[in-house]
Structure 1
């Protein structure tokens, strides 16, 4: 799919590979943790600092997704927001973080 084809489409309708969906979910989890750490939430102190590493993980993942899927920044942001809202609404962060931390470590960041 070319970028101009994706323009104006609902980003959630664009098929992403499993690894891309995982990267977005982990990016959202890292954002939630970084936000909680910045706010001084005690539960988030159990995780390593996420502000810099989590942001860089998202930037790199988003660039790869945009290249492969032909999405623009707004579309990737829309997908990330959906993942963020799902994680913020549910009680899934603690279940998601261990594999996401492994993915973060494997990324070399």
Structure 2
């Protein structure tokens, strides 16, 4: 079992989290350099977000009380790293070393109480996150049906008979049916509800193809909540 301080985040997990958001290409700087104070804080926050996102993926109760960071934290990290290279004069290796040093320091501070330390590291960074990466939009039922339909179509091209494709198809169908019922409850005809769902699907398809971030600008976890089985039903 890992020592308690390393439950906060193992180095292997950290590196995987950081490398999953590689720095965008930028001109090679003439010197390794050091970031200015504001950028230095952003890089520290990027490391804190990587830790928190990993802990959220593990289901940590303390981490789950923070805003979802898997998408926005990753984007913040990528943008901060790119600015450090392109504007701050740092090499990618220097950025990585600085982040690893930050995590080492955070692990030491987390030895006594990892959960409290996690919240203490991330909370001061949330205003920067909101300024750099706007909060995710909350999709409605028809938008969720569209998002899960697109996910199903993508997964189907990779593994048409796989369990993931079947699960996504089921979720998309459940959401579409609930959106249909909601439109009818709001006074639409059946044909009108069908048309509204199709309009949402095509709008989401266009957004996924043309807007930076695509469907990742939405709180997709909310869609899974909307698709959860009713208390008296199952699927």
Q: TM-score range by the shorter chain?
A: 0.7 to 0.9
Aligned ranges 1:13-32 → 2 under 5 Å: 14-32=33-51
Aligned length: 101
SS state at 1:71 partner: coil
Please give the alpha-carbon distance, in whole angstroms, between the structure 2 residues aligned to 1:108 and 1:70: 23
| Structure 1 position 45, deviation (Å) | 0.8
Instruction: Pick one of 90, 114, 121 that aligns with 1:96.
Output: 121
Are the equivalent residues in 1 in contact too, given 2:31–2:91 (CA < 8 A)?
no
Are the equivalent residues in 2 in contact too, given 1:28–1:87 (CA < 8 A)?
no
Instruction: Pick one of 60, 68, 77 that aligns with 2:79.
Output: 60
Larger radius of gyration: 2
Q: Which residue of 1 aligns with 2:192?
A: none
Q: Which residue of 1 aligns with 2:101?
A: 82
| Structure 1 position 4, deviation (Å) | 4.0
Q: Which runs of 5+ in 2 are unaligned?
A: 1-27, 111-116, 135-235
Instruction: Using CA pairs under 8 Å that are at least 6 residues apart, name the structure with larger relative contact order, 1 or 2.
Output: 1
Please give the alpha-carbon distance, in whole angstroms, between the structure 1 residues aligned to 2:61 and 2:120: 17
| Structure 1 position 74, deviation (Å) | 1.8
TM-score, normalising length: structure 2: 0.40
User: Which one has a larger percent helix, Structure 1 or Structure 2?
Assistant: 1
Deviations 1:21-41 (A, max 9, x none): 110110011011111111111
TM-score, normalising length: structure 1: 0.81
| Structure 1 position 43, deviation (Å) | 1.3
CA RMSD in angstroms, aligned pairs only: 1.7
